[in-house]
Amino acid sequence: MADLFSKGENPEYLFWVGCAGAFDDRYKKVVRAFAKILTHLEVSYAVLGKEETCTGDPARRAGNEMLYQMQALQVIEIFKMYEVKKIITICPHCFNILKNEYPDLGGKYEVINYLQFLNKKIEEGKLIIDSASLKNISVTYHDPCYLGRANDIYDEPRSILKKLTGNLVEMHRNKSFALCCGAGGGQMFKEAEKGDKEIFIERTEDALKTEAKVIATACPFCMTMLTDGLKYKNKEEEIKNLDIAELIAQSLEL
Amino acid sequence: MTKQIIFTIALLITIGAFSYTINRIIGFFKLTRPAFPVKDFGKRINLMLTIAFGQTKIFRRPIIGFIHALVFWGFCVIIFGSIEMVIDGLTGSDRFLQFLGPVYNIIMATGDVFALLVAIAIIIFLSRRLFFHIKRFEGVEMKKITHIDANIALSIILILMISLLTMNIGYSEYKTLMGEGVVGLYPVSIFLAGFFIRGSAESFRLMYEVSWWIHILLIFVFANLLPYSKHFHVFLSVPNVFLSRLDPLGKLLNMDSITREVKLMLDPNTAFTASTTEAPVERFGVKDAEDASWKNYFDSLSCTQCGRCTSVCPANITGKKLSPRKIMMDLRARMKEKGPLMVKNGRDFNDNRSLLRDFISEEELWACTTCNACAKECPININQPTLIVDMRRYLVMEEASAPGELKAVFNNIENNGAPWQYSAEDRLLWTKDLEINVRIVQPFV
């Protein structure tokens, strides 16, 4: 790893990888794709590596405020040590907590979600997407709750996807009406409470009804849930569940 | 003169009864906890104008939303006429507001049109409840009494609108037959009058008088029923929108009491300087009605049980027990039950029941995905997820109670800084064999 170190000026952005990005085998690919895009764009960024730790979000939403605050104060200390000012996140849950909740504990940063960041680069003409690779493929986008309803980010993902494909189809429940994938609020880590259906199946059915060939997601938990949903419906061969970062990296042939 | 005396007595009884109820409710509010400071009046007025007066969130269901908006806008106009009736009743004046001239004509004419529109809307609402099978109006929390409450309130509004129309018909016909000038414009009533058998001036006068009394006395009765009904939202929805939490939906409020504890833990030196005379430590999270914030309680009183929240709840849609509407109804019901006992015996009074478990089960609380679909949908900005999380906070921090898998998550976060059982040493595995160099931050000297 030593060769990865490079001394010099402060990197402009801290790329917050998140636990799913570090440990979930499927989501690691998304992180790799996004890192390649950042490098492609010659963005000055760095990651915390082994010093990164959980933001405390799953604990907080499961009611463990004590554990959340201990994690948060630790993270804020680390940020202070590295003079972190701008943070890019891919995980919407990390994004929400860093952006909206850390300020209450004294951690104030410019927190940017990767879709906002990428969309801005496209608008500035710095990220040029060749849509040839996806031109005729139909794509539907699943809004993660913590980007959409929680933070009103609906347009950036759609505007990026419209660059990638001429065939963006909406599910009947979309944007602020979008149905949760079922993983939020700590559900990712537990069995669902008793009911007559799994939420991720209900949402996968929404996606299947669009007959899109690609389900684009922007959250590690949504990805897990919808990929499971596709497997459950025996559709994982026909329909791909890809993150927007992966779609961009693909079109850039990174 | 007799009319004035009777009216004054009726009004005083109304105000007296209403003050008693409101005073009681204020007493319950005093038992609740702080939520957030109410600042940013500009933003709040803006919210009130768009969400409350513009009815923007109810338009998320365009058709039925529009019908509701007609009722709301109708009330906003008709209320001027009601105020005038009170002034006339007290002072013996006749159409006191007529000095407004052309504006008066506009107010009366729109009120007259809206009276018919609202009546039609209410008939639609009542039919939906009585004859159609609307899923949104069902659920464990929707008991028989809940439906009766809704139907009574709707019926009263219907009678109010009919009496307003007959009042206008009686008035305009009487004045016309007497050759006196009609004050104000009543297009719908004059049109409807065409369907009535021609009567004497006296019979129209009687129709006017009777309608006038029915209308105003029913308003007085209704005003006093509302605080006990789900239709309290007639009074509270506009203030509830004004008092909305202004943060993004994704944000949870910080627990400052925990921050103090955590800072003590991280820096034990401060423990010696910390004063021991501090206020007694409050229970973490929400177990019972008095642990909820004033805003939670305000939400629960404003809730009209429309069920839009529950109809979009992913947990509820897939057959789980959670219903965000039930959470709000339960808080209101529990405060109704325990509030008077606490007012009498003090806030610490224990009746061996609590909001948690006796009203809201753990299963309901653990079914929430905190997706905020309920809060987004609520036409009057009720926030259900914050209360759900506050109840989880009680379970986890006071009772150490949580589903086993979540306890494992807590352990993992505490021991290895991730919800899963992976070592921090492996956090860079994703960079392996990557064609690019990923820079890792280090202290800048």
**Residues B139 and B107 both lie in one domain:** yes
Give the tokens for residue A41: 């764009």
Cα–Cα distance for residue pair B160/A34, rounded to 1 Å: 63
Q: Is residue B190 part of a domain?
A: yes
Identify the three-state secondary structure at position A240.
Answer: strand
Cα–Cα distance for residue pair B87/B83, rounded to 1 Å: 6
**Residues B234 and B335 both lie in one domain:** no
| Cβ contacts of B379 on chain A, cutoff 8 Å | none
Contact residues, A window 204-243, toward B, CB-based 8 Å cutoff: none
**Residues B221 and B262 both lie in one domain:** no
Distances (CA, A) of B412 to B263, B295, B406: 21, 34, 10
ipTM for this model? 0.94
Alpha carbon B257 to chain centroid, angstroms? 29
Q: How many domains are contained in chain B?
A: 2
CB contact under 8 A, B439 and A63: no
Instruction: List the CATH code of the domain at A129-251.
Output: 3.40.50
Q: Does A82 touch chain B (CB under 8 A)?
A: yes
CA distance B371 to chain A (A): 5
| Backbone phi and psi for residue A111, each to the nearest 5 degrees, phi listed first | -105, 125
Q: Is residue B162 part of a domain?
A: yes
**Residues B291 and B223 both lie in one domain:** no
Q: Which residue, among A247, A70, A187, A101, has the nearest Cα to B259 in the 3D structure?
A: A70
**Residues B232 and B316 both lie in one domain:** no
Query: Which CATH number do you get for residue B123?
Result: 1.20.950
pLDDT tens, residue order, chain A (254 aa) = 333 344 556 799 999 999 999 999 999 999 999 999 999 999 999 999 999 999 999 999 999 999 999 999 999 999 999 999 999 999 999 999 999 999 999 999 999 999 999 999 999 999 998 776 677 799 999 999 999 999 999 999 999 999 999 899 999 999 999 999 999 999 999 999 999 999 999 999 999 999 999 999 999 999 999 999 999 999 999 999 999 999 999 999 88
| Backbone phi and psi for residue A216, each to the nearest 5 degrees, phi listed first | -90, 130
Q: Is residue B123 part of a domain?
A: yes
Identity of the residue in A71, A182, A191 whose CB atom sits nearest the CB atom of B405: A191
Residue A214 near residue A242 (C-beta atoms within 8 A): yes
**Residues B217 and B316 both lie in one domain:** no
The CATH fold assigned to A10-118 is Rossmann fold (3.40.50)
| Cβ contacts of A105 on chain B, cutoff 8 Å | 254, 259
Cα–Cα distance for residue pair B373/B350, rounded to 1 Å: 35
Domain assignments of chain A as residue spans, ordered by start: 10-118, 129-251
**Residues B187 and B290 both lie in one domain:** no
